[in-house]
Amino acid sequence: MNPQMLRARHAYQYLDLRSREGAPIRANREFALLSSIMSHAVRWGVIDDTPFHKIIRNPEKPRDRLVTDEELTKFLPFCPRWLQLYIELKLVTGLRQTDMLKLNSKDWDDSIGLKVQASKTKSRILFTNTGYINEIIAELKQINGYRGTRHNTPILHWFFFASSSTAMKDRPLTAEGLRTSWNKAMRAAIGEGSLQPNERFQERDLRAKTASDCENIMQAFELMGHSSIATTKRVYRRGYSQVDPLNRQKELNKAKKQSIEK
């Protein structure tokens, strides 16, 4: 379709159609891409103005699946070792999938720890070199830091999670490759009866688990690298917030004391 012929009604028709097909959230993402293209079309001089201002997208409810330690314990045996390490590293860092797959030897410094610049918010985070992270990365190096039939030729610049192909070990694992391995392990866990079908969870749920396992909201906010603490509260803190109830007896005693003094 000619970009000059697009109108707001076309956007709403598309959003409604995809909703009826059972993909309302996916429709929002697809529309966001189209809206971005139209904005660039204005910049390129193809159209004078974009018709997609103030389009009301399909409502979205933040995902509230909270993975338990018991469910993880049941799932891990069905994962190859590199995927187990991926899960462990994600649980202690809370990094997004995009940032996890980009991790490489240049990000790691034995003296200080793991340096990451979040791809979405551009925030810079330094995960200090604790013994646990060091053990994870050391094992990842044994898996992906060498090549050759005897696995004895060091790779100068290696990715924590490399392509499964031996000939392409100096390339990062793709999102598609991760998704394939994850789904295979999940199907096996459910097929063997270790997990029930309603206990299925997604890779992205691990990030929310990390935030929910933090001692307080500020720790979760800093670990997630969000630009707004409201995002941490709304999307990623899926457990219960621990608070102390109001001490009514203390307040009543205080009021009684003030009454006597009068």
Residue 193 domain-assigned? yes
pLDDT of residue 120: 87
Q: Comparing 103-112, 143-152, 191-200, which segment has the lowest mean pLDDT?
A: 143-152
Average pLDDT over residues 150-162: 85
166: how many CB neighbours lie within 10 A of its CB? 11
CA distance 135 to 57: 45
pLDDT of residue 21: 94
Place of tokens 């998704």: 179
When divided into structural domains, the chain yields a total of 2
Do 81 and 24 share a domain, yes or no?
no
Do 31 and 89 share a domain, yes or no?
no
Do 103 and 183 share a domain, yes or no?
yes
CA distance 146 to 60: 44
Q: In this structure, which amino acid lies at residue 197?
A: P
Residue 73 domain-assigned? yes
Percent of the chain with pLDDT over 90: 60
Predicted TM-score of the model (pTM): 0.72
Average pLDDT over residues 231-252: 65
Residue 251 domain-assigned? no
Place of tokens 């307040």: 251
Containing domain of residue 198, as a range?
A: 69-236
CATH number for the domain including 135?
A: 1.10.443.10
Percent of the chain with pLDDT over 70: 87
Average pLDDT over residues 253-257: 70
Do 36 and 82 share a domain, yes or no?
no
- Concatenating the DSSP letter of every residue in the chain gives --GGG--HHHHHHHHHHHHHTT-HHHHHHHHHHHHHHHHHHHHHTS-SS-TTTT--PPP---------HHHHHHHGGGS-HHHHHHHHHHHHH---HHHHHH-BGGGEETTTEEEEE-TTT--EEEEE--HHHHHHHHHHHHHHSEETTTT-EE-SS-BSSB-SSGGGTTSBPPHHHHHHHHHHHHHHHHHTTSS-GGG---TTHHHHHHHHHSSSHHHHHHHHT-S-HHHIIIII--SPPP-PPP-HHHHHHHHHHHHHH-
Residue 255 domain-assigned? no
pLDDT at 72 exceeding the cut of 70: yes
Which token pair is 70? 């018991």
Among 124, 125, 133, 128, which residue's Cα sits nearest to residue 112?
Answer: 128
Which token pair is 46? 């193809």
Residue 258 domain-assigned? no
CA distance 29 to 164: 29
Do 128 and 37 share a domain, yes or no?
no
pLDDT in tens, 95-129: 999 999 999 999 999 999 999 998 888 889 899 99
Do 10 and 138 share a domain, yes or no?
no
pLDDT in tens, 6-37: 999 999 999 999 999 989 989 999 999 999 99
Do 38 and 99 share a domain, yes or no?
no
